[in-house]
């Protein structure tokens, strides 16, 4: 009997519905070729869910995600829901909550250069030659999940002597949280080039000093074959631009990872190409690294390749379908080598007939599968 996998699809906002349609197209094509059925069910998250029921992560969505074999997310957010009112619901809360509820403590972001797009980077070709790194970001702890509060009670700190505001966020980690993310990084390094760069701010932060101590303990005891270097986060921001090809696996705290992975994404020159996987001990979630691109929503011009490459990661990590995953990546590579582009990755030399819309780009990938 044909194997069936349940996929919980979360189109979200902005370009989300347009790009997830292309991800599903690829899943269908892979299913047909490898004798598997991917049963995709759409459900609400983010701004779309706020509009429907006032909650960025409705209970039904969480239940559907928990019951599925994998979650495919597009992106959430947009100016319609932007607010500085701490009491108002925001789309990103849906994202943070689903990560927390599903226990997705590891975010894997591969950063690789597609040869055909090397010219899109703002860095010189000799600097980006050979860039192939995996950023392992801790996703359910640290600064984004610590206690936070805002007060409106600071005497005389506001304008005209009125009461002013103060606010705090806390960065907290528990030993087991650092241990498990460290192990994920060392395991990833063993399957790659055997090097981990642990990024922290140990010269200032107590959490970082604990982080460093634990990462070294795990490394020395369990992964003596893996090379380990410590890099301070400010230095890491510089070295990513200076010597990006020297990084293999980069492991770091939640907010540091958020910022550094966007910087690393930029090395490739094409945010629309980068996927990510969020893994825990149960169902995993796959999504592009970019946001909901509200500036180009509903125009049919968004690049669906990061979403398609998140399907590649799903096949690899949730379904152990390495051959199918390789086929998806190969299809994307050939499409680019043949010169097909969406607008964001086209340049002055791209012939107009090679600039494709979202659906046509998805069709090209499927044709090459």
DSSP string across 269-306:
T-GGG-EEEEE-SS--EEEESS---GGGTTTT----HH
Q: Which of residues 79-118 bind ligand NAD (CB under 6 A)?
A: 92, 95
144 is catalytic: yes
284 forms part of the interface with ligand NAD (CB under 6 A): no
Which lies closer to ligand NAD via its Cβ, residue 253 or residue 287? 287
- Contacting residue, 17, 23, 56, 78, with ligand NAD by CB under 6 A: 78
Q: 38: helix, coil or strand?
A: strand
* Beta-sheet pairing, 285-288 with 275-279: antiparallel
Helices (H), the chain: 16-34, 47-53, 59-67, 91-101, 125-128, 175-190, 206-222, 233-242, 254-268, 305-317, 322-337, 358-368
Tokens 């094509």 found at: 29
Q: How far is CA 276 from CA 279, 307, 308, 340, in A?
A: 10, 9, 11, 23
Catalytic annotation, pick one of 201, 248, 286, 344: 201
Q: Please identify, among the stretches 31-39, 136-144, 217-225, 298-306, the one whose residues bind ligand NAD according to the rule CB under 6 A.
A: 298-306
72 forms part of the interface with ligand NAD (CB under 6 A): no
201 is catalytic: yes
Which lies closer to ligand NAD via its Cβ, residue 78 or residue 269? 78
- Please compute Rg for the chain using Cα positions: 21
Least separation in angstroms between CB 6 and ligand NAD: 22
75 forms part of the interface with ligand NAD (CB under 6 A): yes
- Contact letters for ligand NAD, residues 10-39 (x by CB under 6 A): -----x---x--------------------
Beta-bridge mates of residue 107: 137, 278
310 forms part of the interface with ligand NAD (CB under 6 A): no
Q: What is the dihedral of CA 255, 257, 261, 263, to 10 degrees?
A: 60
Least separation in angstroms between CB 230 and ligand NAD: 28
262 is catalytic: yes
25 is catalytic: no
258 is catalytic: yes
Catalytic annotation, pick one of 51, 225, 234, 337: 234
| Phi, psi at 155, each rounded to 5° | -60, 130
* Catalytic center residues: 144, 201, 234, 258, 262
Which residues of the chain form contacts with ligand NAD (CB under 6 A)?
15, 19, 75-78, 92, 95, 271-272, 287, 290-296, 302-303, 306, 344
């Amino acid at each position: 009997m044909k194997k069936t996998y349940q996929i919980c699809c979360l189109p979200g906002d902005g370009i989300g519905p347009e790009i997830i349609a292309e991800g599903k197209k690829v899943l269908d094509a892979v299913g047909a070729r490898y004798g598997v059925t991917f049963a995709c069910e759409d459900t609400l998250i983010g701004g779309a869910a706020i509009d429907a029921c006032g909650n960025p992560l409705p209970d039904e969505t969480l239940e559907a995600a928990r019951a599925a074999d994998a979650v495919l997310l597009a992106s959430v957010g947009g100016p319609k829901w932007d607010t500085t009112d701490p009491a108002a619901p925001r789309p990103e809360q849906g994202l943070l909550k689903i990560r927390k509820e599903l226990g997705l403590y590891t975010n894997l972001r591969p950063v690789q250069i597609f040869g055909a797009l090397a010219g899109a980077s703002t860095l010189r070709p000799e600097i980006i030659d050979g860039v192939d790194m995996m950023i392992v970001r801790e996703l359910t702890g640290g600064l984004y999940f610590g206690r936070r509060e805002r007060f409106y009670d600071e005497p005389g700190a506001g304008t005209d002597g009125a009461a002013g505001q103060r606010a705090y966020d806390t960065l907290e980690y528990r030993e087991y949280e650092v241990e498990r993310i460290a192990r994920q990084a060392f395991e990833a390094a063993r399957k790659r080039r055997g090097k981990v760069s642990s990024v922290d701010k140990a010269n200032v932060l107590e959490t970082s000093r604990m982080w460093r101590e634990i990462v070294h303990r795990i490394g020395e005891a369990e992964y003596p074959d893996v090379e380990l270097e410590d890099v301070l986060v400010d230095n890491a921001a510089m070295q990513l631009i200076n010597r990006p090809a020297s990084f293999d696996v980069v492991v770091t705290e939640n907010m540091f990872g958020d910022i550094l992975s966007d910087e690393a994404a930029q090395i490739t020159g094409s945010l629309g190409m980068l996927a990510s996987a969020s893994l825990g001990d149960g169902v995993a979630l796959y999504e592009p690294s970019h946001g909901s691109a509200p500036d180009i929503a509903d125009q049919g011009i968004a690049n669906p390749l990061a979403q398609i490459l998140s399907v590649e990661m799903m096949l690899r990590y949730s379904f152990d379908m390495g051959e199918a995953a390789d086929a998806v990546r190969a299809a994307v590579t050939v499409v680019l080598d043949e010169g097909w582009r969406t607008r964001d990755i086209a340049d002055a030399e791209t012939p107009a007939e090679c600039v494709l819309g979202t659906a046509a780009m998805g069709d090209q990938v499927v044709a090459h599968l």
